[in-house]
Amino acid sequence: MRLVDFGLLNAKIKDSGMTIVAIAEKSGILRETLYNKLNGSVDFKASEILRLSNTLRLSPMDRDAIFFAEESELNSRKAV
């Protein structure tokens, strides 16, 4: 099962120095929609993953680690 690594995503958001509102505006995602996705209420669409990756300047490796994490990977990160 593939999951979003919200911890890593939030760390990248913090590292960007941008607010959620600024990220939403730059990525073209409605602020409320982005909040819903960040709290896990709604899944990310492929187009949103691409736009967030560009806005946050994620490397392909970071993008995959965040948006295509395996459940076992998330569990092992939490255990450390």
* Burial status of residue 29 (CB atoms within 10 A of its CB: 0-12, 13-18, 19 or more): buried
Determine the number of helices (DSSP H) and then strands (DSSP E) in the chain: 6, 2
Mean of pLDDT values over 49-62: 97
What pLDDT score was predicted for residue 69? 80
Instruction: Say which CATH architecture domain 2-79 belongs to.
Output: Orthogonal Bundle (1.10)
In the chain, where the domains are located: 2-79
The model's pLDDT over 19-37, given as tens digits with 9 standing for 90+, comes to 999 999 999 999 999 999 9
